Structure 1
Amino acid sequence: MPDLRLAGRTAVVFGGGTTTGGPDGVTSIGAASARTFARHGAHVAVVDRDAAAAERTVAAVRAAGGDAVALVADVTDPGQVRAAVAAVVDRTGRLDVVQNTVGATVLGSVDDLTLADWHRALSLNLDSVFLTAQATLPHLLVRGGSMVNVSSTASIRWTGYPYPGYAAAKAGVNQLTRSLALQYADRGVRVNALLVGLVDTPLVYAQLAGNAAVEQVRAERDALSPTGRMGTAQDVADAALFLASDESRYVTGVLLPVDGGLSARAV
């Protein structure tokens, strides 16, 4: 029998679209998670501000025999978030798993960033989690469920990239995760975060690589990892599946590094 860890459940993945522009075979964490949840029996709602990106993920899910729907929403807009969540619940009658994957770096040191840059980093990476939690928690409380927030090792250590707004926002995600986990622990809702390290995703080439060649970017990032290689979006999706499923039924308030040991290294 297939190992359907999420059979009969509804999962919504915010930032689940399949982005283009990276090297062949490289995909986003949200898209990999949506495909993984569907492969394990969940009905998946893929929410993205880019309709085409959401549809690409849904097409991949359906091609593999899964069930998914694409929805368009900007996760920094409370009205759009509420509308997307309402559409999901209207369609399936329930909500069991929420994954907050939206994130973006805003490069620049403190003396370079404008206040608008700083606010943009906080809005994209932290406000978005607050808004999706606000909209989804009432539905998760109906029968219990799991929220998985995608954070970063940048939230707990220097990673070599000058993005203090991103780092601060992800640190905020960590504490929001813990606060929600403890507030709702006795009501059947679990909230955990993944601290993602050096992972090969389209974001790397769109936001961090500059004009460097793909081979150079990969070689440099592979060398920074204790394992000698970057992780993949699927590595993160597999960890998300664990946190979404009953296999982690007694796990909440955890900040789980998915970073090849990067966060454990002193230098």
Structure 2
Amino acid sequence: MRLSGKKALMIGAATGIGRAAAVQFVDNGADIVIADINLPAAEETIASLARSGRHASAVTCDVRDEASVRDAVSTAASQMGGIDTLVFFAGLQKLGHAEQFAAADWDAVFDVNARGTFLATKYAVPFIRRAGGGSVITTSSLAGLRGAPGMTGYAAAKGAVIAYTVALAQELAPDNIRVNSVLPGWIDTPFNNPAIALMGGVEAHGDVVKRIVPLGRQGTPDEVAPIYVFLASEESRYITAKQMMVDGGMAH
């Protein structure tokens, strides 16, 4: 029960890596609230959990809407009696080469990935400070460090998340609030479908993965989720401002 007593707000955790992390948070003793724009999927995830007496609920949250984020944070704090852990999973991929990339798509990618991360921390940090400290975990991507053709907008937004995480970690260190980011590589979730299409389909993507990933395959959400558990736990109490890569060895 590595997270016994923790009160975690998990934004964008209805599906994919976030869902896997929600399961592992509850399995490790945390109270959780999943805040997601897809409320039916969030409620389905909550219903699937083996709660063991822990609090687990779902609320609506559109990370593009400041009032929605503020209200979701306030509701989560009220339901759990506080927040000491914020985990942000919400993301958006829109791909295309820079000279053809629509400015509206650029704005949308930044609204969800970068601005959404900012809004979540803006409203959750006061509750974490009130709890005496805790952990903020953002989700960037290996693309935020390396980029790739056709991924300029997404890479730029995820790079902004990394920079924001490092700066916020320094800002909040005196409050005993640690801030770290998880950087998944190729993980087998529908979130990567736009990138797979850009690469020419499943077969072409599989060939690329075998060539560039030393472990020779995609990861699974269940293989990424334990990093979030670790960063939320007291085991990582001397770790802040870090980028935790889960990428099968791609960044080496």
Fold shared by both chains (TM-score > 0.5): yes
Say which of 194, 197, 202 aligns to 1:210: 197
Q: 2:163 — aligned with what?
A: 175
Partner of 1:147: 136
**How far does residue 66 in structure 1 lie from its aligned partner after superposition?**
5.2
Distance in 2 (alpha carbons) for counterparts of 1:89 and 1:57: 20
Counterpart contact for 2:89–2:139, Cα < 8 Å:
yes
- Describe the SS at the equivalent of 2:251: helix
C-alpha displacement of 1:40: 0.5
CA distance in 2, matches of 1:162, 1:100: 25
SS of alignment partner, residue 26 of structure 2: helix
Secondary structure at the residue paired with 1:99?
strand
Alignment deviations for residues 76-95 of structure 1 (CA, whole Å, 9 cap, x no partner): 11100011111111112110
1:37-186 to structure 2, matched below 5 A, reads 37-62=25-50, 67-142=55-130, 143-159=132-148, 161-186=149-174
Aligned-residue offset at 1:224: 2.8
For 1:206-236, what per-residue CA distance to the aligned partner results, in whole angstroms no more than 9, with x for missing partners?
x223396656644543443111111111121
Q: Deviations over 1:46-87 (max 9, x none)?
A: 111011110121012147775410111101111000111111
Partner of residue 13, structure 1? 10
1:230-245 equivalent positions in 2, closer than 5 A: 230-245=218-233
* 3-state secondary structure, aligned to 2:104: helix
SS class of match (2:146): coil
The whole-number CA distance in structure 2 between the counterparts of 1:58 and 1:223 is 38
Q: What amino acid maps onto 2:133 in structure 1?
A: G
Match of 2:215 in 1: 227
Contact 1:197 1:259 (C-alpha < 8 Å) held by counterparts: yes
The gaps in structure 2 that reach 5 residues or longer are: none
Deviating 4+ runs (over 3 angstroms): 62-67, 211-220
- 1:249 matches 2:249: no
Q: Percent identity?
A: 36
Change beyond 3 A, Cα 1:169–1:38: same
With over 3 angstroms needed to count, the CA separation of the structure-2 counterparts of 1:9 and 1:119, relative to structure 1, is same
TM-score if structure 1 supplies the norm length?
A: 0.88
Q: Is the 8 A contact 1:194 1:240 kept in 2?
A: yes
- TM-score for the superposition, normalised by structure 2: 0.93
Output the CA distance in 2 between the equivalents of 1:213 and 1:114: 23
CA distance in 1, matches of 2:223, 2:117: 22
Q: Work out whether residues 39 and 66 of structure 1, in 8 Å CA contact, stay in contact via their aligned partners in 2.
A: no
| SS in structure 1 of the partner of residue 238 of structure 2 | coil
* RMSD, aligned α-carbons: 1.8
Instruction: Report the equivalent of 2:249.
Output: 261
- CA shift at 1:145, angstroms? 0.7
Residues 1:92 and 1:258: Cα distance change in structure 2 (over 3 Å): same
The partner residue of 1:196 within 184, 191, 198 is 184
Gaps of 5+ in 1: 19-27
- Pairs aligned (count): 250
